[in-house]
Structure 1
Amino acid sequence: MMDLTVEYAGEYFSLDTDEPFYVGRQGDLELDDNLFLHRQFLEISNADGLWWLSNVGARLTATVTDSSGGVNAWLAPGARLPIVFEQTTVVFTAGPTTYELTIHMKGPAFRIAPRDSSDDGESTIGHVPLTASQKLLILSLAEPVLRREGTGTSEIPSSAQAAERLGWTSTRFNRKLDNVCDKFDRIGVQGMRGGQGRLATNRRARLVEHAVSSRLVTRDDLALLDAVAAGGDDADA
C-alpha cells in the first residue's frame, strides 16, 4: 500500500492504512464549525489494494482533479473514486465557504502526460468559447480562491459583490452568469443549473470549483481583473 498524506492549510496528516480518515466538521481533519458542512463528509480508506476517496455525506458534492487539471471528476453523495495520482486536489463548498485540500501519494499508480503547450487555453474553456467579459465574470467569483496561498478556505462572493468588483450592474452580471452556466451545462459539467432546491450560491460555487480545479482560470489571470477594476475596458460590454 502506497503512503498517503493529506495537506490542508499548511498542515499535513499521514494516513494509517488500517483506519479510515474522515474530513468534515468532526473527524481526523476538522475543518471548522460551518453548519452547512457535514460532520463527516469525506472518507479516505484502503480496500482491495487501493486508496479510495468516498463521499459519505448526504447533500454536498466535491470536485476532484489531478495536479494538472487534466482529469476532473464530480464526487456525488455515496460515490467513491480510487486515488491513483501523485497529487489529487479536492475542492468543495458548504454554504458560502469553499474548501481545498490536497492528497499526496508516494509512488502513484498513474501519471498524467504534460498537456500540449501549443494550447494556451485562452480561446476555449471546456471546448466552449468564452468572451472576455465571461472570463472576467468567472475571475470575479474565483478571486478569493485564486489569491489564497495553498490549500484552505475562502469565501465565494455574492453576485452583488462580484458585480461591484467589475463595475457592472447586477442585471448584467446575472445575465452573463446565466449564459456561462448554460454553456458549461451543455458540455456536461454538472451542478450548473439552478432550480428547485438549488440555490444561486451553489451554482456560483460549482462554477468556481470547476474553473479553478480544471485550471481554466489561474492566479496569473487576475491581472485581467485588476486592470478592469483600475478602469480598463472589458472589451465586450
Structure 2
Amino acid sequence: MRHGILPGQLVVDDLVGQCVVLNPGQQLTTGRAAEFAVGDDDEFMHRKFLQFWSDGPTWTVTNHGSRISATVHPRGHNSFAQLLVGPGASHPLPPGLSSVVFATSLCTYELHLTVARTLQPPDPAPVASDDLTVGRFTPNTEQRLLLRALAQPLVDSPGAGMDRVPAVRDLERILGWSQKKVNTKIDYLCRTLEANGVPGFTARTGNAPARRFALARYAQENYWSLKSRGTF
C-alpha cells in the first residue's frame, strides 16, 4: 500500500501526471471530455468512458462506452485472473495493485489502480493431511521454466496481445531446448492440466499454436499465485 493511502481509498494514475485519490462515496469518470481526461486528442476515444465508483467498501469500474473494451490486469500479488470490461459492463475492482488497459485505433492507454484494502485473507482452518484435493497442480522444474517463459512478456506488458507470446523457436533459444523437446513439453503440460481439471486444455483437439497460447494465458493469469508459492 502506498504511503499515505488509507484503507478504503482508490488511487487512479495515468502515469503522465494525473493522479487522483478517491474516498468511498466519491466517483471519477475518464474519457476524452471527462473530468479525468484520457485521450483528449484522440477522436476515437469516448467522451465519457470508464467510471470508477464505490458502493460501500467495494470499488467498481463501469464501461460507459459503446465500442471500446477495457481489461483489468494484476500488478502485484493479487492472484486474480484478468477481467474484461466490455461496453455497458461493470466489474468490482480487485484489492491491491492493478492496471486497466484499453485501446483505440490510434493509441493504447494504461491506468494504474490501487484499491487500498488488505490483501491477506485470514488463515484457513486446518484440514486432515489425507484430504487430498482433486486437481491440485504443482509444476516440476522444467514445467516451471516453460510456464515462466510463456508468461513473462504478458506479465511485463499487461496490455500486450497474444502476438507477444514466444514462438517455439523463441522458446528453443530462451530455454536451450530442442524444437522436439519444446513441443513435447507443451503437449505433456496441456495433458497434465486437463487431467487436473483445468478447462481449455486438450492435446487431442487443439492445434499447436492454440495449446501454446492457452498455456501462456494460464501462466499469466496464475503468475502471482505460482510465484507466491515459490513456483516461479
Shorter-chain TM-score bucket reads: 0.5 to 0.7
Residue among 156, 178, 182 paired with 1:173: 182
Helix, strand or coil at the partner of 2:120: coil
1:45-79 deviations in Å (ceiling 9; x for gaps): 21534421357798978565584345x24524546
Shift of 1:39: 6.2
Change (3 A) 1:217 1:63: farther
* 2:149 corresponds to which of 140, 150, 160: 140
Amino acid at match of 2:176: G
Q: What is the CA–CA distance in structure 1 between the aligned matches of 2:70 and 2:187, rounded to whole Å?
A: 21
**Aligned partner (choices 217, 226, 230) of residue 206 of structure 1:** 217
Report what 1:157 is aligned to.
166
RMSD (CA atoms): 5.0
Contact (CA 8 Å) 1:192, 1:207: kept in 2 or not?
no
Contact kept, 8 Å, 2:144 with 2:231, in 1: the verdict is no
Query: Hey, what's the Cα distance between the residues in 2 that align with 1:101 and 1:181?
Result: 33
**1: CA distance, partners of 2:72 / 2:197:** 14
CA distance in 2, matches of 1:93, 1:175: 36
Q: Which is greater in Rg? A: 2
Q: Percent identity?
A: 21
> How many angstroms apart in 2 are the aligned matches of 1:93 and 1:186?
35
Q: C-alpha displacement at 1:189, in angstroms?
A: 5.1
* Structure 1 position 52 matched with structure 2 position 60: yes
- Are the equivalent residues in 2 in contact too, given 1:44–1:54 (CA < 8 A)? yes
Q: 1:209 deviation in Å?
A: 1.5
The 5 A counterparts of 1:16-55 are: 17-21=26-30, 28=37, 43-46=50-53, 48-49=55-56, 50-54=58-62
Q: Which has the higher contact order (CA 8 A, sep 6+)?
A: 1
Asked if the contact 2:59–2:92 (Cα under 8 Å) also holds between the matched residues in 1, the reply is yes
Quote the residue 2:12 is aligned against: 6
Among 92, 99, 105, the residue aligned to 2:115: 105
Aligned residue-pair number: 189
Specify whether residues 178 and 102 from structure 1 end up closer, same or farther in structure 2 by C-alpha distance, changes over 3 A only.
Answer: farther
Residue 206 of structure 1: how far off its partner (Å): 0.8
TM-score, normalised to structure 2's length?
0.53
Find the residue that maps to 1:203 and give its secondary structure: helix
- Give the strand-richer structure, 1 or 2: 1
TM-score (norm 1): 0.52
- Mapped partners of 2:51, 2:187: distance in 1: 35
Per-residue CA deviation, residues 140-199 of structure 1 (Å, 9 max, x unaligned), is: 2234467x5xx7666432232012211222232123223334444555656656859x95
